[in-house]
A and B are shown apart, each in its own frame.
Chain A
Amino acid sequence: MVARLGIDIWKPLHAARGRTTDRIGDGVLYGLCMLAALLVIVAIGAIAYQLMNGAASSISKFGLGFVGHTAWKPEFGIFGAGVFVYGTAVTSLAALSLAVPIGISIGLYLSMVAPRRVRGVIGPLVETLAAIPSVILGFWGIVVFGPFLSSHLEPLLHGVLGFLPIFGPAQTTGAGLFNASLILTIMVVPIIASISRDLFLSVPRELTDGAVALGATRLEVVRGVVLPSAASGLAAATFLGLGRALGEAIAVTQVIGAGSAIHASLFDTGDTLASRIANQYQGAATSLQISSLFYLGLILLVIGLLANAVAQWITRRFDVHRLAAR
């Protein structure tokens, strides 16, 4: 019977040729994957190396004092990052101090307050805010938002809180640290909102139910149960938002007014590390200036990496704790 069908039952299950191609195929796939993975690691190293290499002549000329030095005078060959470090710190902190409470509130709204149907609409809309390209947001910020700020919001704040030096008299264009902070807020809010919503949704149901059963109102559930159990995640989200705010170049360049001095008033112009790099893209004349731009980039790389590393460290460390506690 078997013989009539032409099947040789003693034939080995695998044809030898198939085995060879299998072995080659496995090797090639492994090699390619390995190569791609190595490339990712190499890319990070290459970025750091390239920036240090580019910044070398500026580093040897100005040393570490560059970071705090507040003069940026290309015509005299003097460069310092002080003004931009200050601008970066002020705009990022101002943006975070607005974006963190607003983002967490939106997260609470989306996870606890909103009806299910509304959630499905507003959640994606908030995330869409993050999809707007920064160049368009910045363009809107200087053409539409800036005039509104300088004619309405800034005089109002100056009138009410003018005794604080940070709320000085309004500028005519609306370009300045304040505008940049608000534009950054718009960019950071969706990040914090969507992370905090996911965090709040993952708070164990028993905990919130328990608090409700004890008679806690929704606010008390939030303050007593939800926020404490999501605290580490919220801290990580804050650092991710910080990384985003620090590194945003284009929108900030468009709305910050490219000032080269430190002003106390938020309504005045300034510049951040990223925006100074961006607005010199066509104007860098000398090699020392280009090298100083790389130096700015290097500072940005270091603090950007730090912010992200802290966020990752928090997530890893506290996720482990939370898992162990369960």
Chain B
Amino acid sequence: MSELFDKGAGSEAAEVEVSLNGVGGSLASGVEDPGSSPFGDGLDPARPLSASGNLRRRQLASRAAEAGQTTCALLAVAVLAIVVYSVASRGASILSIGFLTKDPPAILGTPGGGIAPAIVGTGVIMLIATAIAMPLGILTALYIVEFAGGSSSRVLRMALDLLNGLPTIVIGLFVFGLLVVGKHQSGFAGSLALAIVMLPLIARATQEVLLLVPRSLRDAADALGVSRWRTVRGVVLPSAIGPIVTATILAVARAAGETAPLIFTTSIFANTVSANPFGRQALPNIPVYIFSASEGADPYGFARAWGAGLVLLTFILIASLGGRAMLSRSRSRYSA
């Protein structure tokens, strides 16, 4: 309480008297000296309430804080705008049909060419990662909601959160040790690493959606004597499938830009189109392509990396904004 009004506590005795009519000042004087009568000597009850200098100062401090908060918000939006503009303006000049459909030039330091292998590779890697993470995520969420008791569901949720908080480079190292050391890099190793990134995202979101499925639907199915798996298949999942798909899209948007899990699992690749995730060769992909170009010194490589960045950023922004819009729409439908 006292801290709340310390700004309001008048420091000079003269001001306390004057500001007794001011809202903050009168309260402050009461806090400072509870023994004094509210109708002290200097007070004229008929005097109009007016802001004292003290109140003005408090208002000013408050306004200044608001201005600071607004500036921070605008700063964040400005950074977003600057980054997106930088990528768009540098990437747009190289973007063309050829850029999307051609291989990069075989010789370093030459202009032209495209990023077709990286686009195809990223597509294949993401498809496999989704095919691994989506069913596992949904099943884990079903276990938490439908089967697990209090303590095991708490442990599982904690495990998912820890998995989600793991540095993604650590996940990359894990798959490197599991599948690559002593063998070779592959698109599948990259997919597995990204699947581990996506799994907790999908599982946690699905679990929250499943909890929103109205109790009455489950009760109705139970009352009809429907077995558990038919209830899940016929009632629970269909009524939650929209948000589950949305959560998956958001997870894909997050994982598609992840580079750290890929640099140890599928980074040393030839620049030709390949769609074989299980081959002896790593699959080219957009994030690693940008990363290695940015670590290099080839100006044409930089230009292609900006183009690749624009392609990736466009995909991710569409997926994540679209996913968010779908999510907020389905949320409002549930609560309605």
Contact = CB atoms under 8 A, between A and B. Distances in A.
Interface of A: 13-14, 22-23, 25-26, 28-30, 32-37, 39-41, 43-44, 46-47, 50-51, 53-54, 102, 105-106, 108-110, 113-114, 122, 124-129, 131-140, 142-144, 186, 189-190, 193, 211, 214-220, 222-225, 240, 243, 246-250, 253-254, 274, 277-279, 281-282, 290, 293-294, 297, 300-301, 304-305, 307-309, 311-312
Top 5 closest pairs, chain A to chain B, by CB = A133-B257, A247-B167, A224-B4, A36-B139, A308-B165
B264 interface: yes
A308 B161 contact: yes
A138 B294 contact: yes
B294 A22 contact: no
Given A136-B309, A301-B170, A125 B77 contact: yes
Nearest to A301: B170
B139 A35 contact: yes
Contacts of A240: 165
A122 B287 CA distance: 28
Majority-rule SS of B interface residues: helix
A109 B69 contact: yes
Interface in B125-181: 135-137, 139-140, 142-144, 146-148, 152, 155-156, 158-163, 165-171, 173-174, 177-178, 181
A249 B288 CA distance: 13
A135 B173 contact: no
Interface stretch (B98-106, B112-120, B228-236): B228-236
Nearest to B203: A40
B73 interface: yes
B253 A220 contact: no
B83 A136 contact: yes
B143 A37 contact: yes
B292 to A, nearest CB: 8
Interface of B: 1, 3-5, 7-8, 23-24, 27, 58-59, 61-62, 65-66, 68-70, 72-73, 75-77, 79-80, 82-84, 86-87, 135-137, 139-140, 142-144, 146-148, 152, 155-156, 158-163, 165-171, 173-174, 177-178, 181, 196, 199-200, 203, 225, 227-230, 232, 253-254, 256-260, 263-264, 267-268, 287, 290-291, 294-295, 302, 305-306, 309, 312-313, 316-317, 320-321, 324
Contacts of A51: 170, 173-174, 177
Contacts of B70: 109, 113-114
B257 A33 contact: no
B158 A34 contact: no
Given A47-B171, A133-B312, A26 B165 contact: no
Given A33-B146, A304-B167, 6 more contacts: A33-B139, A41-B155, A129-B80, A133-B316, A143-B294, A301-B170
Contacts of B257: 131-136
Contact of B143 (A34, A110, A224, A243): A34
25 contacts: A22-B230, A25-B230, A30-B228, A40-B160, A44-B162, A47-B174, A51-B170, A106-B73, A128-B80, A132-B80, A132-B84, A135-B309, A136-B87, A214-B27, A216-B4, A216-B5, A217-B58, A219-B62, A224-B3, A250-B169, A250-B259, A300-B167, A301-B170, A308-B162, A308-B166
Nearest to A249: B169
Contact of B73 (A122, A139, A214, A282): A122
A104 to B, nearest CB: 9
